[in-house]
Structure 1
Amino acid sequence: MANARRPVIAGNWKMFKTTHEATTFVESLWQKVQSLNSAELPDIVICPPFTALASVQTCIAKLGAPFLVAAQTMESRDNGAYTGEISPLMLADLGIQWVVLGHSERRQYFNETDETVAQKTVAALKHGITPIVCVGEQLMERENGLTDAVIEQQVRAVLTQISAADLPSIVIAYEPVWAIGTGKVCEAPEANRVCALIRHFVSEYGDAKQTRVLYGGSVKADNTQALMGQSDIDGGLVGGASLEAESFVGIIKQACLVKA
């Protein structure tokens, strides 16, 4: 991990936690994080469901905690007759400054494509929202030697739609689909190879030194140091281990040790 890039540890709660559970988690996490060296903390991003965004945002402000809040997805258009969708204008109105885009579950279950992920990325940047753009290959694609081609296609779909000036403002998360929620983790050297490949693609569109690249896929406290100790992995997009404050702070602690 390069010292010039501030690490990111983001917890994606998916479809878990009521409003009460969400605010209770934030309070517990803040109690545990306060004992850590604030100068070594990564950007800590919490990604609640839509129903808890406002409550989590208010709770963080009340506590004075250095946590950031991300939505788990959004619509690319500002408004319109799109029942059930949430626009970037609505997120910005809540003060939400981050959003996860193109997660494999959104691609798999809700028909998101490289094109729609690119459109959402453009919309997020337009409204000053930092996008965490997820890319990753299926197990069959990896077994058939298609990992690099799949990653290139997904990354370039976004990069061709944004300007070089936007590159420091995006975060890309490599999430091999076969490692999400399975307990399997891509070995650190291979995860780093793919993250370095992503950075190489970014460099073809401008300066890639400030673009943060995360790894996601069964990230836990016991593999955080190995992953974040790599040259091109700037943090983690955490799923299941972010649902309990104890396990999530364990990852944050390990991230602090790498930075130190």
Structure 2
Amino acid sequence: MHKILIGTNWKMYKSIAEAKEYTTALKAFFENFSTDIELFIIPSFTSLHPVQEIVKDSTILLGAQNMHWQDEGAYTGEISPVHLKEIGVQIIELGHSERREYFNETDEILYKKVKAALKHGLKPLICIGETREEKELFLTKEVLATQLKTIFQKIEVHDAQQLWIAYEPRWAIGEGGKVAEPKYIEEVHECLRDLLIEILGEVGKTVPILFGGSVNSKNAIPYLKCKHVSGLFIGRAAWDLDSFKDILLQVKKFVEHRKKVRSCS
């Protein structure tokens, strides 16, 4: 049984003081919580080092929201994978829909970033998803296939084992996002699993696929019950610590029930 991956991206929210307060409390809450849950947080750049100092002796993984594909150079405003590795970052979130929409990131650029992350031993968390218009035109499978095949070009099989995928339909994220039906999510995740196997062979069966799209305390467990959903990538519902604790407690209960059922079967 694989660990369930649960994490959150804070986007451009939380000051350093707020980040430290949140992380300190989360660390205390998660201590001795469940070895079957892999927890990660992705703060803004200014909070990375202070947060790393808090989580460095815990099981909580630390991620960054973006990075450049070059180790160094004249790229004003960018951040090097070398610098992120230096301060203890373990995960790199790549390809979020806001990066695609506002900063013109393409799948070709993401491919270069994925290669750079793997080179430096950083785990790429690759975000993919279709727009509302693409969904309404029944192009979801084609869009996701194009994204995965472009990003995964020339990725070695042994490197692919380090990848995480986050399916985040662009119509289901953000403040005005539409809540996705679990049945639809299960269908798409099954499609993604088939695509990963097509691209990577046997390794494609083990690459985790998280779901992120207006996840909250009411729909977290229905999503986790979907086949091929390996975890949840949570937005604003995790920014409030009490709300995030509620979700984590539900996940813990879900994991314990699943283990009991499997041990009896």
Q: TM-score scaled by structure 1?
A: 0.93
CA RMSD of aligned residues (A): 1.3
Aligned partner of 2:70 among 67, 77, 83 = 77
Q: CA deviation at 1:183?
A: 4.5
Aligned partner of 1:59 among 31, 54, 63 = 54
Within 5 A, what are the aligned runs for 1:176-195?
176-181=169-174, 182-195=176-189
Distance 1:252 1:184 in 2: 23
Distance 2:158 2:29 in 1: 37
Q: Provide, for residues 62-109 of structure 1, a one-character-per-residue CA deviation record: whole Å limited to 9, x for no partner.
A: xx4321100001111111000010011111111111010000000000
Q: CA deviation at 1:222?
A: 1.3
Q: TM-score scaled by structure 2?
A: 0.92
Aligned partner of 1:97 among 90, 99, 109 = 90
Distance 1:149 1:82 in 2: 33
Question: Which deviates more, 137-146 or 198-207?
Answer: 198-207
Aligned residues of 1:242 and 1:248 also touching (Cα < 8 A): yes
SS for the counterpart of 2:204 is coil
Within 5 A, what are the aligned runs for 1:170-249?
170-181=163-174, 182-204=176-198, 205-206=200-201, 207-249=203-245
Distance 2:234 2:254 in 1: 17
Distance 2:193 2:111 in 1: 17
Aligned partner of 1:31 among 24, 28, 31 = 28
Aligned partner of 2:149 among 139, 148, 156 = 156
What is the aligned partner in structure 1 of residue 41 from structure 2? 46
Q: CA deviation at 1:27?
A: 1.3
Question: Which deviates more, 157-166 or 230-239?
Answer: 157-166
User: Which amino acid in 1 is paired with 2:84?
Assistant: L
Distance 2:84 2:135 in 1: 35
What is the aligned partner in structure 2 of residue 22 from structure 1? 19
Question: Which deviates more, 198-207 or 117-126?
Answer: 198-207
Higher RCO, 1 vs 2 (CA within 8 Å, ≥6 residues apart): 1
In the alignment, structure 1 segments of 5+ residues that lack a partner are: none
**Percent of aligned positions with the same letter in both sequences?**
39
Distance 1:193 1:166 in 2: 27
Aligned partner of 1:88 among 81, 89, 99 = 81
Runs of 4+ in 1 over 3 A off after TM superposition: none
Q: Provide, for residues 135-191 of structure 1, a one-character-per-residue CA deviation record: whole Å limited to 9, x for no partner.
A: 001101101111111111111112223111122210000000011022422111211
